[in-house]
Chains A and B, each alone.
Chain A
Amino acid sequence: MSELLVQERSVVVPGESLAQGMDFLPGDNAYREKDQIYSKVLGLVSVSGRVIKITPLSGPYLPKIEDKIIARVMDITISGWRFDTSTAYSAMLNVRDATTRFVKKEEDLSQILAIGDYAVVKIVNVTSQNLIDLTMKEPGLRKISGGRIISINCQKVPRVIGRQGSMITLIKDKTGCDITVGQNGLVWIKGTQEGELMAGKAIKLIEAKSHLEGLTEKMEKFLGESA
């Protein structure tokens, strides 16, 4: 007889028993030991059919192909740039993936991206050793100029963006800022001084309250009060 031992959307700790019996399957961040399923991280339970998965409440960013991230140039090499992705791993951007125009052999690469510059880039390849290749040759991918960058926990990025971008659109509308959220947890906010501050505060608030329900209403109230 199989039995679920935890409630949907409850907080579980690593090693907590989630279900008994073979009728359930371990999903993301869960594992099976004999006939029990255990959690592997601190997170929220979500059950869909027979699969139990855990949505982490915190944790490191794992680079994935197709992810749009915000990264900082940490070094310039012979054929491109090395980026700090705010993870344990640096990423490479090749010259031919950086710009559509022709770059001459002797050209100074720091004229395109200098050390310390931030850019919105996309991950095109990740190896088993987490070596990352980037591209900047798609619409929306570019060097960052102006505005400010704040850092949040990468596990909260989906909540900051919201369903079909509802949350981020709300903040953009209320503050009049241009906001880009990188999957690695860096957020670029550009607008007026007050707008940037407001948007930054709003995003930090979402990060803190993301595990609670009724988040959109809370945000509407927060932004409405101050706007």
Chain B
Amino acid sequence: MVYNKRVDGRKIDELRPMEAKAGVVKNANGSASFKIGKTWAIAGVYGPREVVPRFMANPKHGILRCHYTMMPFSGSGERIKPGRSRRAQEISMVMEQSLAPVVDLSAFPNSVVDIFVELPQTDAGTRCAAISAACIALADAGIPMKDMVSSVAVGQVDGAVVADLNYNEESYPAIVSDIPVAMLHNTKEISLLQMDGEISKEDLLKALELAKVATEKVYQLQVKALKEKYAVNNEDN
């Protein structure tokens, strides 16, 4: 059987409907909400501020710290146990590493920029949504950055290379691979590349080409969200 009709009827390179907004958390220095399909991430940026615990401080430049959390009710079945899990720790780490190449904290030695990402609802692609939201929030917070990072998952479902897998596709009863990719906009450098499942070399290269187009769509939305906040006729800012 060939996978030519996607579970939710999308085209193979089509992303789920996206929505983004900057400045959703008034208490934070910068914030953003990013929705892709049923996956929803809210990011808040605090800082630069004093580093606690002190031993983490770096006298040469500020550090970036991510905190990824899925809300207890965010899954589609079991309650998600709150707090740090092995998985949340890993995702926090890859988020830091995918954002680090663009963020310039050389003017803020011995300080930390904290990024908190909460996911009220999840349906695959959470780390990508989290990174995309975090990047909008960082820009909103006025942190110096040399570029934007946009992230989306690509993959292969039963022989077809597709963009932005949802949960039903990730658990499709065939050979599936799920490849979250984060890309810098200007240079198209890849700052996040993980994989789950199986894929052939040719398909992987094809998937990465598709990722370029897909992350560009995310980038357009991120820019729109940031510019909308400062639009002339926007009354609620």
Contact = CB atoms under 8 A, between A and B. Distances in A.
Interface of A: 11, 13-17, 29, 31, 33, 38, 40-43, 56-60, 62, 87-90, 128-130, 155, 208, 211-212
Interface in B40-65: 47-51, 59, 62
B16 interface: no
Given A15-B184, A88-B48, A88-B108, 12 more contacts: A11-B227, A14-B146, A14-B148, A15-B102, A15-B146, A41-B142, A59-B144, A60-B108, A60-B143, A87-B48, A88-B110, A90-B50
13 contacts: A13-B222, A15-B146, A16-B223, A33-B186, A40-B144, A42-B139, A42-B140, A58-B140, A58-B141, A59-B142, A88-B108, A89-B111, A129-B59
A57 B237 CA distance: 12
B104 interface: yes
B48 A29 contact: no
Interface residues of B, number: 37
B106 to A, nearest CB: 11
A31 B146 CA distance: 8
Nearest to B148: A15
A125 B222 CA distance: 39
A88 B186 contact: no
* Interface of chain A, main secondary structure: loop
Contacts of B185: 15
A29 to B, nearest CB: 7
A199 to B, nearest CB: 20
Interface in B122-171: 139-148
A47 to B, nearest CB: 18
A204 B51 CA distance: 29
A42 B225 CA distance: 12
Given A14-B139, A88-B47, A130-B110, A41 B146 contact: no
Contacts of A129: 59, 109-110
Chain B interface helix/strand/loop/mixed = loop
A56 to B, nearest CB: 5
Interface string B216-230: 000000110011001
Contact of A13 (B29, B107, B141, B226): B226
B155 to A, nearest CB: 27
B232 interface: yes
Contacts of A43: 142
A124 B111 CA distance: 21
Contacts of A57: 142, 230
A157 to B, nearest CB: 13
A130 B29 contact: no
Contacts of B180: none
B148 A130 contact: no
Contacts of A56: 142
Nearest to B228: A11
B141 to A, nearest CB: 6
Contacts of A14: 102, 139, 144-148
A33 B186 CA distance: 10
A207 to B, nearest CB: 10
A52 to B, nearest CB: 15
A58 B142 CA distance: 5
A155 B29 CA distance: 12
Interface string B26-50: 0001100000000000000001111
A216 to B, nearest CB: 17
The 8 closest A-B pairs by CB, nearest first: A59-B142, A88-B111, A15-B147, A58-B142, A14-B145, A88-B48, A42-B139, A11-B230
A40 B146 contact: yes
A128 B145 CA distance: 20
A211 B50 CA distance: 29
A72 to B, nearest CB: 14
A25 to B, nearest CB: 17
